[in-house]
């Protein structure tokens, strides 16, 4: 990566735009798009890989994916990763919405896979009872699976616009996905062409045991909540091992330590740079996802205090080397499974 | 309805000036949208949506409109490959457009069949907050199992049940929108009906315009009643001045039953247009566009949709089949079925014989001809006559090119409409409701 003269392992940084869940987003700024635009632009100034925005039907706040779609045209580089839940939504709609976020952000979309566990959320829909975490995460894995199949269901060169034959698409390059999960099925293909990144970045918080297998099977980025380097290192090793066991290349999975931060002063910001540097040197993570106590204050301190120190120490890039979130993360654009299958077939 | 000089069809007495409402429909995934033209650009890049939305805002339009499709159409068991296809999810695109427009309303078509009221109410309310009160929802229903194959519910409905379910859906959505008064706190909603059970608190305060604007498309009797009971805007098919007046009077008359006044529902036909420097130039352009829209391959597909059998061996420049259509055909999926194929076939054959038209010429003649064709002055005059004559409150314009199909209209027709005093020169309010002159919905008593 030419961005760093220091030839170190790249360090990836992400920031949660929402405060802690206990401090419910009830203030008027939670519904003000400019609030999110300000924060995302600040994160972009700090060359962060991406920002996340949590979501839940159980607490006040707008739809996270819509908020980050609103932020997209007001930013140019930073990755945009909303939480989207899979329990009460249609898998087809989830796939289409995340795909569309990738189009409107020109290749900067990701998606944090979440489940809705509470009875309160179940009652808002009246379709099914609350279920145990294991069952919900199994279904979430299926939703992540079918979403990715739908993203692949248009090959990249499916649109041919061939005036001579009158054909807009080559329909041999559009594919029914015919997915049958344990609780739903989807015929396909997608109604939306393959997104700019091929597949938007899939993020899974793998801290809970029930989510770990889903992360190993489907995530590009796994978040791990850990309080010390040893725990983080163990979790990373476990995730990489599971990934390998599933036949995936573990180097295609970025494991970020998800840390709560509270930066009261510039000294705290430098302290965070020290901590990040130490953990990163130990090889226990590929980067950090920071969860602030106060998003505005803590992001400003991070960008003005922590980031310059990390850059000075050659731990962090000084500019974005690419345009898409996959490029920031050093992840290749995935090959299309259907195109590969078609080339193998006689 | 392609007349360019129609003074005799305009009302004879000078009526009071009635301002018109205009909306821009992003070109759709059907053969109205021409992709073989050298100027046709991406139907999916955000830049195309941004260009068309900014153009509409420059023309002081009320809103920008996105259609919906939930399954790619199929023909003869294979994906239909002749038309523009592939589109993004509407609410997400509109949320992004809120960042690059200031006043333009943002309307999403979303099925009430393949969504849940809580989730959709929340997504629409989010768009409304993120755009400062500019959101609209075009409520549509779907009754085919073909589309249902993409969904968890798999569900599809009897035609008769569609509007019943849609009415309950919209009522539930409104109860949620009303449940959190501005400046207050969320109050629990408890809805229990035949189609939905929703209990709990909403996650957003009341929207900046009270409720997002409700649009309804559909000309059937059930659709008209649903619109009169529920909608703020009706998106109807375009027709002649007389048929438009009849539809307009019928729908407006249904409002009284629901205690609504005539101005509380706007009737906006979807229309196409072709401009030229002279009337003859416009007619020539219109003919060229029709030939682009109906390629030889598309003509055969249109024919097969009526006949319901494979006609790929037919010559598009030759005569129509001499046998009758198959009434039970499942050839075309994901399209509205043709009501009585035999009657359509008879009409087409009669026309073909009378005028000596080929298959392609017959399809061109009988399907989707442009609504307004003429010089900018003639088009402005005719549109104003429709509104003055109470055949419409405005129009949803459907350009045939992405993304600059609206440029000529905004550059050349809009100034003439503004000169006539029938189109605003500046936005007066900030919300879509204010553009449409709709009152803010009254919250039922006892809800905050």
CATH 3.20.20.30 fits A12-115+196-344, yes or no: yes
Averaged pLDDT, A114-119: 96
Q: State the pLDDT at residue B381.
A: 97
Helices (H), chain A: 33-45, 64-71, 91-104, 119-125, 133-152, 209-218, 229-245, 266-281, 295-301, 307-312, 325-329, 337-344
Identify the band that residue A343 occupies on the pLDDT scale cut at 50, 70 and 90.
confident
Burial of A97: CB neighbours in 10 Å, binned 0-12, 13-18, 19+: buried
Distances in Å between the Cα of A195 and the Cα atoms of A50, A110, A329, B100 are: 18, 11, 17, 21
Residues on chain B touching A193 (C-beta within 8 angstroms): 44, 86
Return d(Cα A239, Cα A253) in angstroms, integer.
Answer: 9
Percent helix, percent strand, percent coil in chain A, to nearest 5: 45, 15, 40
Ramachandran category for residue B76: left, alpha or beta (phi over 0 → left; psi -120 to 50 → alpha)? left
Q: State the pLDDT at residue B10.
A: 47
Q: Is residue A254's pLDDT more than 80?
A: yes
Return d(Cα A171, Cα B297) in angstroms, integer.
Answer: 15
Architecture of domain B7-276+374-436: Alpha-Beta Barrel (3.20)
B355 vs B141, more confident: B355
Lowest-pLDDT range of A31-45, A65-79, A191-205, B152-166: B152-166
pTM: predicted TM-score of the whole model, two decimal places:
0.95
Can you read off the two tokens belonging to residue B83? 């038309």
% of chain B exceeding 90 in pLDDT? 78
Identify the band that residue B157 occupies on the pLDDT scale cut at 50, 70 and 90.
low
Q: Is residue B367's pLDDT more than 80?
A: yes
Count of residues making up chain B:
448
| Helix B90-97 with B117-130: angle, nearest 10 deg | 20
Q: Is residue B183's pLDDT more than 80?
A: no
Q: Is residue B336's pLDDT more than 80?
A: no
Rounded to 5 degrees, what are φ and ψ at B310? -70, 120
Q: Is residue B62's pLDDT more than 70?
A: yes
Separation of CA B7 from chain center: 28
Residue of B307, B434, B413 lying closest to B362 (CA atoms): B307
Q: What is the ipTM of this complex?
A: 0.96
Ramachandran category for residue A137: left, alpha or beta (phi over 0 → left; psi -120 to 50 → alpha)? alpha
Identify the band that residue B328 occupies on the pLDDT scale cut at 50, 70 and 90.
confident
Of A59, A97, A159, the CB nearest to B203: A59
Q: Is residue B403's pLDDT more than 60?
A: yes
At B15-43, the pLDDT tens digits run: 568 999 999 999 988 889 999 999 999 99
Q: Is residue B2's pLDDT more than 80?
A: no
% of chain B exceeding 70 in pLDDT? 94
Highest mean pLDDT among A188-192, A339-343, B184-188: A188-192
At B197-240, the pLDDT tens digits run: 999 999 999 989 999 999 998 788 888 999 999 999 999 986 78
Can you read off the two tokens belonging to residue A318? 């000084």
Q: Are B314 and B51 in contact (CB under 8 A)?
A: no
Average pLDDT, chain B: 91
Average pLDDT, chain A: 94
Contacts of B231 (CB under 8 A, 6+ apart): B139, B214, B215, B216, B265
Return d(Cα A45, Cα A318) in angstroms, integer.
Answer: 10
Contacts of A227 (CB under 8 A, 6+ apart): none
Interchain CB distance below 8 Å, B152 and A70:
no
Q: Is residue B7's pLDDT more than 50?
A: no
Q: What does DSSP assign to residue A154?
A: B
Lowest-pLDDT range of A295-299, B9-13, B20-24: B9-13
Q: Are B68 and B111 in contact (CB under 8 A)?
A: yes
Put simply, whether B196 touches A (Cβ < 8 Å) is yes
B3 vs A63, more confident: A63
Q: State the pLDDT at residue A117.
A: 94
Residues on chain A touching B212 (C-beta within 8 angstroms): none
Of B35, B45, B126, the CB nearest to A63: B126
Domain spans of chain A? 12-115+196-344
At A216-233, the pLDDT tens digits run: 999 999 999 999 999 999
Q: State the pLDDT at residue B337.
A: 66
Give B148→chain A minimum CA distance, Å: 9
Q: Is residue A6's pLDDT more than 70?
A: no
Residues 135-174 of B with CB under 8 A from A: 149-154
Lowest-pLDDT range of A264-273, B5-14, B199-208: B5-14
Interchain CB distance below 8 Å, B81 and A167:
yes
Q: Are B27 and B43 in contact (CB under 8 A)?
A: yes
**Residue B376 CB neighbour total at 10 angstroms:** 21
Residue A189: asked if its preceding bond is cis (omega within 30°), the reply is yes
Nearest CA in chain B to A166: B82
At B263-299, the pLDDT tens digits run: 999 999 999 999 999 999 999 999 999 999 999 999 9
Residues on chain B touching A159 (C-beta within 8 angstroms): 86
Put simply, whether A73 touches B (Cβ < 8 Å) is yes
Q: Are B270 and B396 in contact (CB under 8 A)?
A: yes
DSSP β-bridge partners for residue B399: none
At B413-433, the pLDDT tens digits run: 999 999 999 999 999 999 999
Return d(Cα A342, Cα A47) in angstroms, integer.
Answer: 39
Q: State the pLDDT at residue A340.
A: 84
Q: Are A149 and A158 in contact (CB under 8 A)?
A: no
Domain spans of chain B? 7-276+374-436, 295-366
Of A31, A96, A192, the CB nearest to B129: A31
Q: Is residue B351's pLDDT more than 70?
A: yes
Separation of CA B202 from chain center: 29
A65 vs B6, more confident: A65
Residue of B270, B180, B272 lying closest to B217 (CA atoms): B270
Put simply, whether B291 touches A (Cβ < 8 Å) is no
């Amino acid at each position: 990566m030419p961005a760093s003269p220091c030839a170190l392992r790249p360090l990836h940084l992400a920031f949660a735009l929402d405060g802690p869940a206990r401090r419910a987003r009830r203030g008027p700024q939670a519904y003000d798009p400019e609030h999110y635009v300000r924060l995302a632009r600040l994160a972009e100034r700090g060359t962060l890989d991406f920002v996340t925005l949590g979501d839940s039907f159980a607490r006040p706040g707008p739809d996270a994916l819509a908020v980050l779609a609103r932020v997209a045209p007001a930013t140019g580089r930073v990755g945009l990763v909303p939480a989207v839940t899979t329990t009460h939504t249609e898998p087809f709609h989830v796939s289409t919405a995340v795909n569309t976020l990738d189009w409107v952000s020109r290749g900067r979309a990701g998606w944090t896979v979440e489940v809705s566990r509470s009875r309160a959320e179940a009652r808002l829909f009246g379709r099914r009872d609350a279920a145990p975490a294991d069952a919900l995460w199994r279904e979430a894995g299926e939703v992540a699976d079918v979403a990715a199949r739908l993203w692949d269901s248009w090959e990249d060169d499916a649109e041919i616009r061939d005036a001579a034959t009158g054909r807009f698409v080559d329909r041999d390059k559009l594919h029914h996905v015919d997915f049958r999960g344990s609780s739903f099925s989807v015929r396909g293909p997608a109604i939306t062409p393959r997104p700019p990144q091929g597949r938007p970045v899939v993020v899974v918080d793998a801290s809970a045991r029930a989510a770990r297998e889903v992360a190993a099977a489907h995530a590009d980025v796994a978040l791990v909540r850990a309080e010390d380097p040893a725990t983080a290192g163990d979790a990373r090793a476990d995730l990489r091992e599971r990934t390998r066991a599933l036949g995936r290349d573990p180097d295609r999975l970025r494991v970020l330590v998800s840390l709560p931060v509270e930066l009261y002063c510039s000294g705290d910001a430098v302290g965070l740079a020290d901590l990040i540097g130490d953990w990163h040197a130990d090889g226990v993570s590929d980067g950090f996802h920071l969860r602030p106590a106060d998003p505005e204050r803590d992001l400003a301190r991070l960008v003005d205090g922590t980031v310059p120190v990390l850059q000075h120490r050659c731990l962090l890039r000084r500019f974005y080397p690419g345009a898409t979130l996959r490029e920031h993360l050093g992840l290749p654009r995935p090959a299309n499974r259907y195109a590969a299958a078609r080339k193998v077939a006689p | 309805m392609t007349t360019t000089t129609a003074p005799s069809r305009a009302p004879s007495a000078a009526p009071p000036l009635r301002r018109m409402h205009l909306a821009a429909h992003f070109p759709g995934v059907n053969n109205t949208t021409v992709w073989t033209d050298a100027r046709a650009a991406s139907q999916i890049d955000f830049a195309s949506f941004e260009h068309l939305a900014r153009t509409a805002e420059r023309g002081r339009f009320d809103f920008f409109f996105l259609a919906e499709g939930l399954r790619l159409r199929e023909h003869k068991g294979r994906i239909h490959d002749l038309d523009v296809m592939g589109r993004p999810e509407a609410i997400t695109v509109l949320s992004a457009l809120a960042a690059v427009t200031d006043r333009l309303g943002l309307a999403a078509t979303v099925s009430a069949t393949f969504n849940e009221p809580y989730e959709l109410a929340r997504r629409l309310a989010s768009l409304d907050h993120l755009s400062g009160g500019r959101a609209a929802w075009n409520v549509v229903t779907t009754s085919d199992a073909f589309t249902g194959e993409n969904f968890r519910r798999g569900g599809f409905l009897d035609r008769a049940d569609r509007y019943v379910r849609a009415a309950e859906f919209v009522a539930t959505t409104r109860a949620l929108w009303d449940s959190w008064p501005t400046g207050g706190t969320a109050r629990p909603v408890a809805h229990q009906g035949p189609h939905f059970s929703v209990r709990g608190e909403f996650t957003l305060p009341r929207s900046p315009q009270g409720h997002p604007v409700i649009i309804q498309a559909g000309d059937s009797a059930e659709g008209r009643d649903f619109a009169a009971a529920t909608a703020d805007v009706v998106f109807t098919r375009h027709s002649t001045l007389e048929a438009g007046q009849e539809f307009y009077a019928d729908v407006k008359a249904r409002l009284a039953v629901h205690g609504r006044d005539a101005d509380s529902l706007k009737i906006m036909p979807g229309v196409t247009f072709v401009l030229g420097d002279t009337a003859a130039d416009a007619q020539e352009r219109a003919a060229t566009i029709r030939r682009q829209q109906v390629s030889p391959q598309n003509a055969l597909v249109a024919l097969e949709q009526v006949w319901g059998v494979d006609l790929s061996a037919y010559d598009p420049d030759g005569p129509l089949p001499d046998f009758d259509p198959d009434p039970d055909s499942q050839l075309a999926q994901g399209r509205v079925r043709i009501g009585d194929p035999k009657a359509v076939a008879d009409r087409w054959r009669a026309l073909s014989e009378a005028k000596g038209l080929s298959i392609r010429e017959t399809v061109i003649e009988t399907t989707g001809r442009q609504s307004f064709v003429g010089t900018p002055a003639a088009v402005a005059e005719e549109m104003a006559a429709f509104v003055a004559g109470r055949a419409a409150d405005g129009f949803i314009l459907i350009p045939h090119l992405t993304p600059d199909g609206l440029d000529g209209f905004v550059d050349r027709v809009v100034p003439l409409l503004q000169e006539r005093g029938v189109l605003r020169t500046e936005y007066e309010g900030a919300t879509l409701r204010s553009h449409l002159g709709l009152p803010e919905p009254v919250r039922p008593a006892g809800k905050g």
